[in-house]
A and B are shown apart, each in its own frame.
Chain A
Amino acid sequence: MSMIFSLVIITQFESGPTDLYNQGNEYYQQGRYAEAIAAYEQASKNVGSTKIYYNLGNSYFKQGMFGKAILNYRKANFLSPRDKDVMHNLDFARNYRVDKTSARTSPVMQVLLNVFRYLSFYEAEVVTTIFFVIAAAFASLFIIYRRSIYCYALVVASVLCMLFFISWQSWAADTAARHAVVTVSEVSALSGPGEDYKEILVIHDGAEVKLRETRGDYALIQLPGGVGGWVPAEAIEEIF
């Protein structure tokens, strides 16, 4: 009886996300990228971790699937925006795209993004909340005791809370905008949700788009420049 019990535990342990991840790493080292992808994908179903998404991105990149690579790097970046490796590989993979339509970010905007994307979505949420509670506590203390020190503390805590709130909202805007990545090598964007509509433009692997709406099997996407069209829904994958 105890034999059977221990066996079950071992098999469960074997297929756990950590083991799948380590298995994937081994395949990757051997250059067996397709198998590495399968292992990481399985692991990512149960666990959403930067390490898995990052390694998955690398494996897809090595397979020449730049869209999938960009998708996974962005997932990793969402979880760990301060990870330099992720950022580097994301930028690197973007250079391999066929379409060079990405809107340029102005230097000012870039600095702001660097500042406000220092914390991840979750971290920004929590830190904003903590500072809100602190600010509220000082507000209460000030209301009750009328001591100016509490007022100063309240101002400082409020300003910090506002800054982190901006950071949080910059992420929230991203998640709300339904960002997606084209993951097929080439897809025609049509003027309507159906194959009879006219082709407007051709979009290639790795293009980062916004998903406007889905209707049936078709999705209306928009490129950073503003142009867009309807593509089959399976041609894109949402990041968040």
Chain B
Amino acid sequence: MLIKTGKILILLNVLLFAGDLNFVASVNRTEVGLGEPVLLTVSVEGEDIGQVPSPQLPALPDFDIGGTQSSQSTSIQMSGGKIVQRQFINFIYTLYPKEIGETFIGACQLEFRGETYRTKPISIKVVKGPAQPTQPPAKMSPSPGEPGAALGGNIKLVATANRKSIYQGEQVIVDYTLYTRLRLADLDLSEAPSFRGFWVEPIFDAQRIEFQRKTIDGKLYDYSVLRKSALFPMTSGQLRITPMKLDVAVLQSPRDFFDFFGTTKTLRLESDPLYIDVKPLPSEGKPEEFTGGVGQFNIKTSLDRTTSEAGEPINLIVRISGSGNIKLLEKPLIPSIPGVKVLEPEIQESTDFVNSRIQGYKEFRYPLIPQTDGEHAIPGLNIAYFDPAEKTYQMLETDELRFTATQTAAAVELAQTGGLKITGADIIHIKSDADNLRSQRQSAGWWLALPYFASLLGIGLSLLYRRHQARLLTDRAYARKLRSSKLVKKRLKQAEQHLKKNNHKEFHAALSRVLIGYISDRYNLDVGLLTNVDIVDELAKRNVSEEIVRRLNDLLNQCDMRFSPGMKCENPQELFDEAKELLDEL
């Protein structure tokens, strides 16, 4: 015995590929009964679409919009040093058709980054009563028969809610149980209850019917739970859960011997509708950090690593666990961290039904990309939830986490795509302390060459000085030569004075002294020993040209004439010039 539930999804996928953004609309069914919901899912997929706005729905005159949900997931890959973050955002709208007939859901529109994306319209057929499952049933459904009440309470379908009055977001468990004292051949779900206004977390959906026994009012019943769901109201007010309808085939007792298998009779069973009073969450004292959680929660944050090299992302893992409407928790707000870029989180969740409560966790993995080197501190997070048992908002706090980043400079540029802005960091403010601004020198200019010339000159001079000193000590000839130039000048001057005074004798003597003194210094000879002949011989030995030697000899001889009495020089001026010339040439 199987329950056939119409849970075949027909996706009318219209894929519009534009840029790197996928924008697709789909419905869970194209044929729907009046009063039954159609789920319209509008999904956006692309890179870095964290700020994507909600899509604009077309005008839907033929539908009531029941509710909206959105879900996100993210995949992050690092390929070739570039971080690729693909996000999937689903916006789910619950639509209720108003009239029977053919209608359609027009194009949804999304404007993002200056581009307009559209989906293709989807046609919907609205029929009276519950729609036939699109897949033909394996067996022909028996036509609805008389109501089960006619069997005098021998068979009934009971819907129960464990609570009738709850807070918005608080869990209520709804069971559908079939009680029977008859033998059933088959049963068929003809209309599922509509949990309009609730987030549904299915706990149990019977695939096989296994009966247990129970005595009620002295009568023994077989019973089986057909469906058990945890519901979380998403709006406040009185919410109605429509009845579940079942067609059951009841085995009649065989009328005669040949009717071996007996005949069956089809009954239509209907549960009572349920009414749940949903109180809104108190607006008084609602903290800003409230993320939609109703129940009892804990929070734990951790980092998957504590060091990051070259801008590798570190995951900040925020795990909220506990019991309550876990799947409806919104992502906690991460405060801006200077020098760290926080990407959209990757969300993982898991729930279980334990001790008649939905328990589990929701994990947000925020990739953190360090922008600057050094130790970064992630401040503690504050998250608030509503505890329906205490009827107050509770705060959860986490500790500060720290990690160190190195060599971020290399990766920062890669991690950022064009036009991206780091939040929480800005340029350093202007400098505003100026009493007197002066031009700062960019470069020294030409005068900078002067110290270099001066230094080199200094070194050169000291080298020369050093050489001079060394020669003065070791080279006697050098020392004498140095002295001679001074003496020569002095003696020439004396000779000139004598010439002007017409002091012939003194003039000749002086001239002779100049020449002999110079020659003795120049060629390193001893003055006292020199006669004119010696001088001429010495000079000839030292490769002085013959002409100069001859002229010198003449001159010296003329000077020696001063010793002969009465001798008078005809032209002393000529003699002086000749002497000067010879001094230059020697």
Chain A interface residues toward B at CB < 8 A: 17-18, 21-22, 25, 28, 43, 46-52, 54-55, 58-59, 61-62, 78-80, 85, 88-89, 91-96, 98, 100, 102, 104, 107, 110, 121-122, 125-126, 129, 132-133, 135-137, 139-141, 143-144, 240
Contacts and interface: CB of A to CB of B under 8 A. Distances in A.
Given A89-B427, A133-B455, 16 more contacts: A18-B434, A21-B434, A22-B432, A25-B430, A49-B439, A52-B437, A58-B427, A61-B427, A85-B431, A88-B428, A104-B410, A110-B409, A121-B442, A122-B444, A137-B455, A143-B466
Given A122-B444, A140-B462, A48 B439 contact: yes
Given A54-B430, A85-B428, A98-B419, A18 B437 contact: yes
Contacts of B539: none
A49 B438 contact: yes
B416 interface: yes
A54 B431 contact: yes
Contacts of A133: 451, 454-455
16 contacts: A21-B437, A48-B439, A49-B440, A55-B431, A85-B431, A88-B427, A95-B371, A95-B420, A100-B416, A122-B443, A133-B451, A135-B455, A136-B455, A139-B462, A141-B462, A144-B462
B439 A132 contact: no
Contacts of B412: 95
B437 A47 contact: yes
B436 interface: yes
Interface residues of B, number: 45
Nearest to A73: B427
Q: Interface of chain B, helix or strand or loop or mixed?
A: loop
Contacts of B416: 95, 100
Interface in B451-501: 451-452, 454-456, 458-459, 461-463, 465-466
A139 B454 CA distance: 13
Contacts of A102: 413
Contact of B428 (A18, A49, A89): A89
Interface in B332-374: 371
Contacts of A54: 430-431
A144 B448 CA distance: 26
B94 to A, nearest CB: 43
Contacts of A140: 458-459, 461-462
A239 B374 CA distance: 31
Given A121-B442, A143-B459, A129 B437 contact: no
A62 B427 CA distance: 9
B456 A136 contact: yes
B429 interface: yes
B422 interface: yes
Contact of A51 (B409, B422, B425, B431): B431
Contacts of B113: none
A108 to B, nearest CB: 13
A95 B442 contact: no
Contacts of A80: 440
B528 interface: no
Which of B413, B435, B440, B448 has the largest count of A CB atoms less than 10 A from its CB? B440
A28 B426 CA distance: 15
Given A85-B431, A122-B444, A144-B462, A51 B437 contact: yes
B442 A48 contact: yes
Contacts of B455: 132-133, 135-137
